[in-house]
Every structure is written in structure tokens, then in C-alpha cells.
Structure 1
């Protein structure tokens, strides 16, 4: 499996799991701080693990190229969590 295929599978799955986690936290009536912490962890851990794995390869070109994708993944995760929270608040 190439790294392109891995990212094509992982990024949509990551975004779906973030949206599911935000909605599930709201359905369980968790307080706002607990929902914020859980969303923060869901958004932060996978890109940080990817950047750590890329850093462990010690290939500067691989880190520079795919590190940007991992940071964009983090930004998309934050946007997904915020928009899901906004929509879930109105829908529920």
C-alpha cells in the first residue's frame, strides 16, 4: 500500500469519526468542557501520530511533503468538529 492510498483511506475515515464522536457526545448530554476535550483529542491525536511517524523516517522530503497534508488534516478536523457541533446543536 502506498502512502497516497493510505491517506485516501485514512482522511475521510478520520473526518467521519470526528463527526460521529461530536454527535455522540452531544447525545450523551456531556457537559460542554467534556465535549470540547474529547473533540480536541479526537482531532489532535491522529495527525500528531502521522507527523511523528513521518519524522521517525528521517526523510526530509517525505516529512515536508506529507507533513503539510497531515497539518491540513488537522485543520479539516477542527472545521469538521466545529461545524458538526453547530449543526448538531440546531438539529437536536
Structure 2
């Protein structure tokens, strides 16, 4: 039995990179998401660079993302950012 429980789990970018074409990655993330949801733990996916990665993760129930798809990092200022839905409609 766990003596503590975290509120968040962050998925490393190496795990989510290309998730839309990788069955093993999808299966791992689906399993982690199911366990986290059953324990009330939020998932954060880092390193999201494509709309395809974003779409797969959202379909799995991942609510929180970070990565170049949203904005490039900036030094001493807040970078401009775009929600993926805005980019999806701009691409379509």
C-alpha cells in the first residue's frame, strides 16, 4: 500500500512523441491514464509538438499539456501562445 499519493503525473516527451503512430506508446499511456484517473491523479503530458499528438492525448483523457504546439519558451517574457483548437482551424 502506498504511504503517499501525488496529485500529478507528468508524461515525459519521449513517451508521447509520435504517439499517434506507436501502438506500444499508446498502450502504455492508456494504462497510466486509467490508473491515474482511478486514483484521482491528473496527468500532464510534456513535449507536445503536433496536433496529432495533442488529439490522441485528449482522446485518452489527458487534460494538461505543455510543449511547442502551445508556445516556444521565452526568456524574461511571456511568449505568445495558441490553443490547439486555433491551430486546427487554421490548418483546415
**TM-score, normalised to structure 2's length?**
0.35
| Structure with the largest fraction of helix | 1
Higher fraction of strand: 2
**Higher relative contact order at CA 8 Å, sep ≥6: structure 1 or structure 2?**
1
